[in-house]
Amino acid sequence: MHNRTIAELINGLQSKEFSSVELTQHFLDRIGDLNPNYNAIITVTAEQALKAAAAADERLAAGNAPAMCGIPILHKDIFCTNGVRTSCGSKMLDNFIPPYNATVVENFEQAGAVVLGKTNMDEFAMGSSNETSFYGSVQNPWDTNCVPGGSSGGSAAAVAARLAPGATATDTGGSIRQPAALCGITGLKPTYGRVSRWGMIAFASSLDQGGPMARTAEDCAIMLSCMASFDDKDSTCIDREVPDYCAALGQDVSGLRIGVPSEYFSKGLNEGTEQAVRTALAKLEEQGAELVEISLPNTGLSVPAYYVIAPAEASANLSRFDGVKYGYRCEDPKDLQDLYSRSRAEGFGEEVQRRILIGTYCLSAGYYEAYYGKAQQVRQLIQRDFEKAFETVDVIMGPTCPSPAFKFGSKGDDPVAMYLEDIYTIATNLAGLPGMSVPCGMVDNKPVGLQIIGNYFDEARILNVAHQYQQITEWHDQAPEGVAS
């Protein structure tokens, strides 16, 4: 059962080939057996899952089942789950049990999905390797000496290892697409404002966006149809009808204009990765798509602009963790100042502290205009690059990240090397555009991701292109050794 896609599992449930309780138990057993190899899941909610599965079976029997009724999924541990610890990968929130559900969690509940547990992640979603998690790093199922990517590395590894057919994730600078690429699965970061951020622990509020991870584009379409909604509890959520993403999957790609930015094939791009991406583009060209060379001239400024804006917003968002209201509190504080400073020093890891320091500095009086103001201007330039490109093309494609999964510790001492992992993904967040990663090849037995970027609210189009690509290729069906049997 674990080799089937969400679409196939929905059919299996509806035709009574198996029940949701059987399906849920099957995945719980796999998690018990295999998760110790990967550390992808940090909380398993077996009892609640089986209860929800039994309820789903009743709805299925009664014939009034919603879209994902009885399908087991995992939530990234950044989404608040009522009564279930939500740690955000941090010691700071190791004891935090939210009294409410995030809107995304609520939407999946309404859709009948069964929650198996919560996935591991970089602390407060800061990282590209999952090495910053308080709960230890996640192993990449393709090579357990390598990172799964981050920050949604737990969700990506869990889907790749078939511990769940789908999982939620978030993307501030690449955290859905990069781990999806490194683990050989499909992931989608929607347009900013498409998915509610309410109850999703904030990192950088103007960049954060939740989205689905699954094995295929079709499954991402099923998940996004449930996940996206207008939510008046999130003032940046956009009131716009959620299209039926699955209905849009049947269009062929002939006549599709694919922009190929020269800046995305710059030096630093792994040769095998480039070859795999070029082969994927040629395949689409064979199907009648047109490749158009384009330029996104300010691409090189996106990482520097992001590393001012994201830490600035993070430093403001994370100021709420003060040892007073909730979360970690140090032992025996001498006074209030000591309570604040020791709780934060002991509760936050090194990368989070680094970002808070950078952000506080950039926002301080006297530096604000020079750093934050400047970065916002650069952001506008990046946005305009895309606006201009979309005047002549329908989608933009290139690699998701510069190279396949790397070994643990190999970028540990050099934060900038790690920051460059997101060189092809960050601009999309700065502009607020939707982007996907789709498996498109292997280098040294490790997966490569093809990135597909769309115009605002054009999720249906990029999902369709990805789906069409998956109809003529088999990369998304590949499984790490020992996982598919």
- Which of residues 138 and 249 has its CB atom nearest to ligand GLN in the complex? 138
- Which of residues 83 and 412 has its CB atom nearest to ligand GLN in the complex? 412
* Residue 175 designated active-site: yes
CB of 172 to ligand GLN, least distance (A): 4
CB of 338 to ligand GLN, least distance (A): 30
- Which of residues 154 and 174 has its CB atom nearest to ligand GLN in the complex? 174
By DSSP bridging, strand 209-214 and strand 186-189 are antiparallel
- Hey, what amino acid is at 482? G
Q: In Å, how far from its chain's centre is CA 404?
A: 17
CB of 166 to ligand GLN, least distance (A): 19
- Which of residues 125 and 220 has its CB atom nearest to ligand GLN in the complex? 125
Among candidate residues 19, 87, 129, 175, the one labeled active-site is 175
Q: Are 42 and 118 in contact (CB under 8 A)?
A: yes
Positions touching ligand GLN (CB under 6 A) are 125-128, 151, 171-175, 203, 310, 422
CB of 78 to ligand GLN, least distance (A): 9
- Which of residues 80 and 310 has its CB atom nearest to ligand GLN in the complex? 310
CB of 265 to ligand GLN, least distance (A): 21
Q: Using CA atoms of 294, 468, 187, 163 in order, give the dihedral in degrees to the nearest 10.
A: -160
CB of 42 to ligand GLN, least distance (A): 17
* Residue 76 designated active-site: yes
Number of other CB atoms surrounding residue 217 within 10 Å: 27
- Which of residues 102 and 310 has its CB atom nearest to ligand GLN in the complex? 310
Q: Are 469 and 251 in contact (CB under 8 A)?
A: no
- Which of residues 218 and 422 has its CB atom nearest to ligand GLN in the complex? 422
d(CA 87, CA 134): 9
- Which of residues 127 and 166 has its CB atom nearest to ligand GLN in the complex? 127
281: phi then psi, degrees, rounded to nearest 5: -65, -40
For residue 82, give the nearest of 41, 45, 50, 56 by alpha carbon: 45
- Provide the edge-to-edge strand list for the sheet that holds 186-189: 41-44, 114-119, 72-76, 166-171, 209-214, 186-189, 435-443, 446-454, 395-399, 257-261, 290-294
d(CA 269, CA 11): 41
- Hey, what amino acid is at 231? D
d(CA 199, CA 189): 18
Q: Are 455 and 427 in contact (CB under 8 A)?
A: no
Q: Is 157 helix (H, G, I), strand (E, B) or coil?
A: helix
Among candidate residues 19, 20, 76, 403, the one labeled active-site is 76
Q: Are 300 and 263 in contact (CB under 8 A)?
A: yes
- Which of residues 311 and 480 has its CB atom nearest to ligand GLN in the complex? 311
Q: Tokens at residue 344, please?
A: 């934060």
d(CA 264, CA 314): 28
Q: Using CA atoms of 362, 78, 236, 319 in order, give the dihedral in degrees to the nearest 10.
A: -40
CB of 207 to ligand GLN, least distance (A): 8
Among candidate residues 20, 90, 128, 151, the one labeled active-site is 151
Q: Is 226 helix (H, G, I), strand (E, B) or coil?
A: helix
CB of 253 to ligand GLN, least distance (A): 28
DSSP code per residue over 280-337: HHHHHHHTT-EEEEE--TTGGGHHHHHHHHHHHHHHHHGGG-SSSSSS---SS-SSHH
CB of 20 to ligand GLN, least distance (A): 32
Q: Residue 441's beta-bridge partner residues? A: 448
- On the question of a cis peptide bond just before residue 151, with omega within 30 degrees of 0, the verdict is yes
Task: Catalogue the active-site residues.
Answer: 76, 151, 175
